A and B are shown apart, each in its own frame.
Chain A
Amino acid sequence: MAKIKLKPKARKGVIGIKCLIKHPMETGLRKKKGKLVPANHIVHMVVSHNGTTIVDADIGSSVSKDPYFKFNVAGAKGDTIELKYKDSKGKTGSATAKSK
């Protein structure tokens, strides 16, 4: 469904992982033409490095629309970074990228 941009970049033994997930992040409290827009936001996100989980995040509705995150992990060029998320509607998304 949603698009994910995942850009890991290695520098001096540290991989900087930048990720941008296209997601509406509706709080469920906003109104459009008098009707509540149903809540739809990311609740859980997992980032793994070469298969091992490095970040396990619980995300609330007060994270901005199209959320952006940056993490750092020790690693080298060519390592595999994977991102998975689940939103409040139960939809999931994932992306995999090799570190540059």
Chain B
Amino acid sequence: MKRRLFLKSAMAGSAVATAVGAGLLTPSMAFANSADFKAKSDAAGASAAGAGKGSFKFKAPKIAENGAVVPMTVDASKMEGVTNVSFYVTANGTPLAASFNLSGAQGYVSTRIKMGKTSNVDALVTAGGATTKVSQEVKVTIGGCGG
């Protein structure tokens, strides 16, 4: 009986481990992020929905071989008064990856983020009070879910 239980729990454990391996987050699970960040994430989601198409460059791979490290770059150097640059991964449990408040720096941010699975990635740029976005689909071949 004990052996049976052990096997069961081991199987369940490993399935979950693969699911969250590359940082895939599901809303039903306990949030690792603070409530504060969650609120920011929701706000970013809301502004992403209503944002028009931006005139900046957003560079992300079409196919990411490794979901744990997906490099992406926002280049809005030509836009004036960029105050915020955010990366929003639609399929992640906490969609907002990072939000950079810029004051004085040029509208250029490059970073690497984790993605659980194939998803649209929105780059949000706020300049002069207006938020615009450019989205691109990034296919993750080795995601958190084993393909």
Asked whether, in the complex, the Cβ of A88 is within 8 Å of the Cβ of B34, the reply is yes
Tell me the bound Cα distance from A64 to B68 in angstroms: 6
A28 smallest CB distance to B (angstroms): 3
Q: How many A-B residue pairs have CB under 8 A?
A: 132
Count contacts on B: residues with CB < 8 A to the other chain: 45
**4 pairs of A and B residues whose beta carbons are closest in the complex:** A28-B32, A70-B110, A54-B105, A39-B32
Partner pick for B100 among A14, A43, A55, A68, CB 8 A cutoff: A55
* A interface secondary structure, majority: strand
Count contacts on A: residues with CB < 8 A to the other chain: 37
**A30: Cβ under 8 A from any B Cβ:** yes
Q: Using CB atoms, name the residue of chain A closest to B15.
A: A31
**B25: Cβ under 8 A from any A Cβ:** yes
A72 smallest CB distance to B (angstroms): 4
User: What is B's interface to A at a CB cutoff of 8 Å?
Assistant: 9-10, 13, 16-17, 20-21, 23-25, 29-30, 32-34, 37, 40-41, 68-70, 73, 77, 89, 92, 94, 96-106, 108-115
* B interface secondary structure, majority: mixed
- The answer to whether A62 and B92 touch (CB under 8 A), given A69-B109, A88-B34, is yes
Q: 22 A-B pairs, CB-CB below 8 angstroms?
A: A27-B20, A27-B25, A27-B114, A29-B20, A29-B23, A29-B24, A29-B32, A34-B10, A34-B13, A34-B17, A49-B105, A55-B103, A56-B101, A57-B98, A60-B96, A62-B94, A62-B96, A63-B98, A63-B113, A65-B68, A71-B102, A88-B32
User: What is A's interface to B at a CB cutoff of 8 Å?
Assistant: 14, 26-32, 34, 39, 41, 43, 47, 49, 52-65, 67-74, 88
Kindly list 5 other residue pairs between chains A and B, CB separation below 8 angstroms, not including A26-B32, A68-B111. A30-B20, A63-B98, A64-B69, A68-B112, A73-B106
Asked whether, in the complex, the Cβ of B23 is within 8 Å of the Cβ of A27, the reply is yes
